[in-house]
Structure 1
């Protein structure tokens, strides 16, 4: 894979993290194709090939609906997220479809508490170019623990 594509994948990952860490959730769906999949799933279920997910959104329209819910209807104690994402590893590329993955750690900070590790795992991604920009066709957030916090409000 050429350096330009590798840098473009790296930029996609860093821009995604900037978006969610800076609470620019209205921009979040634009990182995905119209027909996409966004899942948050335990490692146990992922490794077993099971579809059971903590969250599964099957189109950009569903992502937009999630953003509306986060901002307008979901009641929760507010918190900030900060992602630490490893360099993406390109697993393969064929016919314009890139498969990549990267490890992540998400820290959560509530206004009245110390920061805590909220979620750790890896992104398993399928990336394509659309209108001259790389986008996720599929982003699976595979979290390491068998347990998930009682509420995942914001994107991982």
Structure 2
């Protein structure tokens, strides 16, 4: 795979479209940003850096992401909230036959319906992005959060 300007622009657009979809609550759209046999993890930084497999959320296919969407919409009971992502430009770590490897810092703010906005989750995405007939998609997306203290439940994808 080659990283030219058009591919770079598509990568930046993928990041922006992903954030817009999860911020708008368009849960049905979320799995479409991934390949069929993808990996999505939300994991504490300490576990990631030590090579520990324990993750707060871990999904190993687009089908499991769709199952999470069903849970968000149909079975999970929680106080609704809005979230808003601020995502930095991707830093390219490698380009090869297995796709583009990149990292992006993120901050997610949460606003409860009758409350103030607060910093909800901060960390970095570690991504492997591959070309598909539908455009670039995440083959792997690791959301590695910095704090060891997080809210007792994370409902929506980061």
**Secondary structure, aligned partner of 1:39:** strand
| Aligned ranges 1:139-154 → 2 under 5 Å | 139-154=141-156
**Any runs of at least 4 consecutive aligned residues in structure 1 with deviations exceeding 4 A, and if so which?**
none
Asked if structure 2 preserves the Cα contact closer than 8 Å seen for 1:96 and 1:129, the reply is no
Deviation (angstroms), 1:90: 1.1
| Aligned ranges 1:75-94 → 2 under 5 Å | 75-94=77-96
Aligned equivalent of 1:72:
74
Paired with 2:94 and 2:9, the residues of 1 have a C-alpha distance of 15
- Correspondence for 2:8 among 6, 9, 25: 6
Gaps of 5+ in 1: none
Aligned equivalent of 1:104:
106
Aligned length: 156
Asked if structure 2 preserves the Cα contact closer than 8 Å seen for 1:92 and 1:98, the reply is yes
Please report the TM-score for the alignment, with normalisation by the length of structure 1.
0.98
| Aligned ranges 1:121-132 → 2 under 5 Å | 121-132=123-134
Deviation (angstroms), 1:36: 0.7
Deviations 1:14-53 (A, max 9, x none): 0000100111110000000000110000000000111100
Paired with 1:150 and 1:132, the residues of 2 have a C-alpha distance of 36
Q: CA RMSD in A?
A: 0.8
Paired with 1:25 and 1:111, the residues of 2 have a C-alpha distance of 19
Paired with 1:58 and 1:28, the residues of 2 have a C-alpha distance of 14
Please report the TM-score for the alignment, with normalisation by the length of structure 2.
0.97
